[in-house]
């Protein structure tokens, strides 16, 4: 099982949108079962999933104190990928999430404030010796600052080759629990997400699997949700 933390100290970078879209795209490409976890107290990812009609990805409720055990239970149940949305602050929650993750994805908007704020997130991830990938998100087409942002970020880590551009369809799709891949006439946005996931998927092959051993029985909530999607765990 692979675990991705979607993290940024700054709010408004698009962590929830990136988390949801990557999870759905991963399921489309056969990387599932995929589970989503929301550690942000605002609960935006939870709200998205609660109005979603599609059965996948599964959503798992947990706390930072039980996260390792719950991840171990998901691994035992056959989940292949977990994507964790994090709060917009450097606190106990984000430290704990990065600690159990194999890869950190950092969405960054191409603006001076976002670039300046990325440093704290990079420092945290590097202190945990975890690989990181920047994703330039909500970029304006043909804006010079987008290229400048990619150059600046490349001094601190790997920048994903797929730039996610600002389009209202990303926000509108999230309103009713969908993604741009599930809306008509969103080929450009869908292609950007597909390219991003393909790149991340290749990087995940070089990252060790989640290896924490289970420390108890699967909680009733996790067991119920997993059985509803994929049947009883073997």
pLDDT value, residue 93: 80
Q: Residue 67 falls within a domain, yes or no?
A: yes
C-alpha dihedral (132, 138, 140, 146), degrees to nearest 10:
-10
Range list of H helices, the chain: 15-28, 44-50, 67-76, 92-100, 112-127, 144-154, 168-175, 187-204, 220-230
Domain-located, residue 147? no
8-state DSSP, 183: S
**Is the pLDDT reported for residue 214 higher than 60?**
no
**Are the CB atoms for 77 and 222 separated by under 8 Å?**
yes
Going by their DSSP bridges, the two strands 81-85 and 158-159 should be labelled as unpaired
Range 214-218, long-range pairs (CB < 8 A, 24+ positions): 214/69, 214/72, 214/73, 214/75, 214/76, 215/69, 215/72, 216/69, 216/73, 218/73, 218/76, 218/77
In a domain, residue 6? The reply is yes
The answer to whether residue 106 scores a pLDDT higher than 90 is: yes
Distance CA 99, CA 67 (A): 10
Is residue 141 one of the residues assigned to a domain? no
Q: Order across the sheet with 58-59: list the strands.
A: 58-59, 34-38, 81-85, 2-6, 103-108, 132-136, 158-159
- CATH code at 83? 3.40.50.300
For residue 44, the number of C-alpha atoms closer than 13 Å in the C-beta half-sphere is 18
The DSSP string of 81-102 is EEEEE--SSSSHHHHHHHHH-S
Q: Could you tell me if 51 and 29 are in contact, meaning their C-beta atoms sit under 8 angstroms apart?
A: no
pLDDT at 142: 85
DSSP type of residue 51: T
User: Is the confidence at residue 233, as pLDDT, over 90?
Assistant: no
Examine the pLDDT at 70 and tell me if it is beyond 90.
yes
Q: Would residue 143 count as lying in a domain?
A: no
| Structural domain boundaries, residue 6 | 2-105+168-230
Q: Check pLDDT > 50 for residue 200.
A: yes
Q: Could you tell me if residue 198 is inside a domain?
A: yes
Whether residue 51 lies inside any domain: the answer is yes
Query: Per the structure, how many domains does the chain have?
Result: 1
Across-strand partners of 42? none
Report pLDDT for 208. 87
pTM: 0.89
Mean pLDDT of the 9-18 span: 94
Report pLDDT digits (tens) over 180-192.
999 999 999 999 9
pLDDT at 220 over 80: no
Note whether residue 61 is domain-resident: yes
């Amino acid at each position: 099982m692979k675990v991705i933390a979607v993290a940024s100290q700054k709010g408004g970078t698009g962590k929830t949108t990136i988390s949801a879209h990557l999870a759905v795209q991963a399921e489309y490409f056969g990387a599932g079962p995929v589970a989503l976890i929301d550690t942000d107290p605002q609960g935006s990812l939870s709200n998205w999933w609660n109005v979603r009609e599609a059965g996948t990805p599964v959503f798992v409720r947990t706390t930072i104190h039980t996260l390792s055990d719950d991840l171990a239970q998901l691994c035992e149940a056959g989940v292949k990928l977990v994507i964790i949305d994090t709060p917009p602050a450097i606190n106990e929650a984000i430290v704990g999430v990065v600690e159990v993750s194999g890869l950190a994805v950092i969405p960054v908007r191409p603006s001076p404030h976002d670039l300046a704020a990325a440093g704290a997130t990079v420092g945290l991830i590097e202190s945990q010796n975890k690989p990181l990938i920047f994703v330039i998100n909500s970029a304006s087409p043909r804006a010079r600052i987008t290229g400048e942002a990619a150059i600046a970020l490349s001094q601190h880590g790997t920048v994903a080759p797929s730039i996610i551009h600002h389009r209202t369809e990303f926000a509108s799709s999230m309103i009713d629990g969908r993604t741009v891949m599930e809306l008509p006439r969103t080929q450009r946005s869908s292609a950007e997400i597909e390219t991003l996931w393909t790149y991340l998927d290749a990087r995940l092959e070089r990252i060790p699997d989640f290896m924490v051993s289970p420390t108890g029985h699967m909680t009733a909530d996790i067991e119920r949700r997993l059985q509803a999607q994929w049947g009883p765990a073997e």
